[in-house]
Amino acid sequence: MYTNQYKFKYLEWHSPEEIHETTIKWQSTLDFVEVEWLFLKELLSDNTLLLLSDDHFDEAQKLVSKLQSCKQEIPEIRQMLVEHRNALEVLVDGINESQKEKAFKDRHLLLEIKLNDFNDRYREIKTAIFDLMKHSFKKRKQKSIASK
């Protein structure tokens, strides 16, 4: 029921220009995730010894695996965005093709759901990595203070 309500509102209130802008924002977000992914991977690999000494290596390995899984989804999502942006023409070509326009907007909604799911999962992984690193850095600092 919620999806139908959302779809109705979306179809009624979003113009082709807004859909185009949304698609560009999604592409920009994916670009950022790819750069951030490299940072997170380096953060974990550069601190392997710290994570080993804190007995968090297994947890870090699981996070790296989840991070890699997210990274592998990006090319598929990126391709879907390119195809989606190219298909936007159906809304602006001046030809009244209500079935094609409805199908396009339905695909847009499904793409939005897919991207929101991806972003939620990625954010959870990122938060877990930062929490793990924060805990490890704090523990290392406590050990350093205790040894002085």
Cβ neighbors of 103 (< 8 A, separation 6 or more) are: none
Cβ neighbors of 132 (< 8 A, separation 6 or more) are: 51, 56, 59, 60, 63
Return the higher-pLDDT residue of 3 and 119.
119
Q: Is the pTM of this model over 0.95?
A: no
Question: How do residues 108-143 score in pLDDT, each as one tens digit?
Answer: 889 999 999 999 999 999 999 999 999 888 887 777
Domain boundaries, the chain: 16-147
Mean pLDDT (the chain, rounded): 84
